[in-house]
Amino acid sequence: MEDMIFYDRLQFAFTITFHYIFPQLTMGLSLIIVYYKWRFLKTNIEKYNNAAKFFMKIFAVNFTMGVVTGIPMEFQFGTNWAKFSELTGGIIGQTLAMEGLFSFFLESSFLALFIFGEKLMGQKLHFLTGFLIFLGSWASGYLILATNAWMQHPVGYEILDNGKFVLENFSKLFSNPWLLPAFLHNQLASLVTSSFVVASIGAFYILRNKSIEYGKLFLKTGVIFGLVSSLLLAFPTGDWNAKNVAKYQPATFAAMEGIFETEEAGAEIVLIGQPDMIHKRLDNKIAVPNILSFLTYQDWNKQIPGMDQFKEEELPDNIPALYYSYHIMVGLGTIFIAIMALAVFFLWKKKLYTLKPLLWAIMFLVPFPYIANITGWYTAELGRQPYLVYGLLKTSEGVSPTVSSGNTLFTLLGFVALYMLLGLLFLVLVGKTIHQGPTSQKH
Partner 1 sequence: MEIFWYIIISVVFAIFFILDGYNFGTGIIHLFFAKTEKDKEVIAKSAGLFWDFNEVWLVAGGALLFMAFPTFYASVFSGFYLPLIMVLWLIIFRAIGLEFRSQFNFQMWKDIWDKSFGVASLLLALFFGIALGNIVRGVNLGGIENGVATFELHYFFLPLWNSTFSPLSETPGVIDWFTIIIGLISVVTLAIHGANWIILKTNSSINNNLKSVIFKLNILLAALTFISLLVWQIVNPNSLDNFIDKPYLIIFPVIYFLGLLGLFFIKKFKKDIYGFMLSTLVILGGITSSLASLFPVILPSTNNLSEPLTIYNTATSEYGLSVALGWGVIGLILIAIYLIIQKKLFSGKVDKMDYGH
Q: Does 102 bind partner 1 (CB under 8 A)?
A: yes
CA angle 344, 349, 354 (to 5 degrees): 85
Q: Which of 39, 57, 126, 384 binds partner 1 (CB under 8 A)?
A: 57
Q: Which of 414, 416, 427, 439 binds partner 1 (CB under 8 A)?
A: 414
| Smallest gap from residue 435 Cβ to partner 1 (A) | 12
Q: Which of 49, 152, 194, 411 binds partner 1 (CB under 8 A)?
A: 411
Q: Which of 420, 432, 435, 439 binds partner 1 (CB under 8 A)?
A: 432
| Smallest gap from residue 225 Cβ to partner 1 (A) | 24
| Nearest residue to 246 via CA among 197, 309, 195, 183 | 309
d(Cα 179, Cα 182) in Å, to the nearest integer? Answer: 5
| Smallest gap from residue 55 Cβ to partner 1 (A) | 12
d(Cα 196, Cα 191) in Å, to the nearest integer? Answer: 8
* 3-state SS assignment for residue 112: helix
Q: Which of 10, 44, 46, 71 binds partner 1 (CB under 8 A)?
A: 71
d(Cα 168, Cα 189) in Å, to the nearest integer? Answer: 32
Q: Which of 14, 117, 366, 437 binds partner 1 (CB under 8 A)?
A: 117
**CB of 197 or CB of 233, closer to partner 1:** 197
Q: Does 68 bind partner 1 (CB under 8 A)?
A: yes
| Nearest residue to 142 via CA among 190, 187, 97, 88 | 187
- Between the CA of residue 176 and those of 108, 154, 179, 191, 341, what are the distances in Å? 29, 8, 5, 23, 34
Q: Which of 4, 31, 60, 358 binds partner 1 (CB under 8 A)?
A: 60
Q: Which of 23, 28, 89, 383 binds partner 1 (CB under 8 A)?
A: 89
Parallel, antiparallel, or unpaired: how do β-strands 165-167 and 387-389 relate?
A: unpaired
| Nearest residue to 205 via CA among 441, 436, 443, 442 | 436
**CB of 62 or CB of 385, closer to partner 1:** 62
Q: Which of 13, 38, 79, 302 binds partner 1 (CB under 8 A)?
A: 79
| Smallest gap from residue 63 Cβ to partner 1 (A) | 8
| Smallest gap from residue 113 Cβ to partner 1 (A) | 6
Residue 364-403 contact track with partner 1, rule CB under 8 A, x = bound: ------------------------------------xxxx
- Torsion sign across C-alpha atoms 432, 434, 436, 438: positive
User: Cα 317 to chain center, whole Å?
Assistant: 22
d(Cα 88, Cα 335) in Å, to the nearest integer? Answer: 39
Q: How many residues belong to the chain?
A: 443
d(Cα 329, Cα 233) in Å, to the nearest integer? Answer: 11
Q: Does 10 bind partner 1 (CB under 8 A)?
A: no
- Torsion sign across C-alpha atoms 248, 94, 396, 157: positive
Q: Does 91 bind partner 1 (CB under 8 A)?
A: yes
Q: Which of 10, 45, 112, 420 binds partner 1 (CB under 8 A)?
A: 112
Q: Does 350 bind partner 1 (CB under 8 A)?
A: no
* Cis preceding-peptide flag for 177 (omega within 30 of 0): no
Q: Which of 32, 96, 189, 292 binds partner 1 (CB under 8 A)?
A: 96
Interacting positions 203-262 with partner 1 (CB under 8 A): none
Q: Does 443 bind partner 1 (CB under 8 A)?
A: yes
Contact 339, 362 (CB under 8 A): yes
Q: At what angle do helices 23-43 and 179-208 cross, to 10 degrees?
A: 70
Contact set with partner 1 (CB under 8 A)? 57, 60-61, 63-64, 67-72, 74-75, 77-80, 82-83, 85-91, 93-94, 96-102, 104-106, 108-110, 112-113, 115-117, 120, 164, 166-168, 170, 400-403, 407, 410-411, 414, 418, 421-422, 425, 428-429, 432-433, 442-443
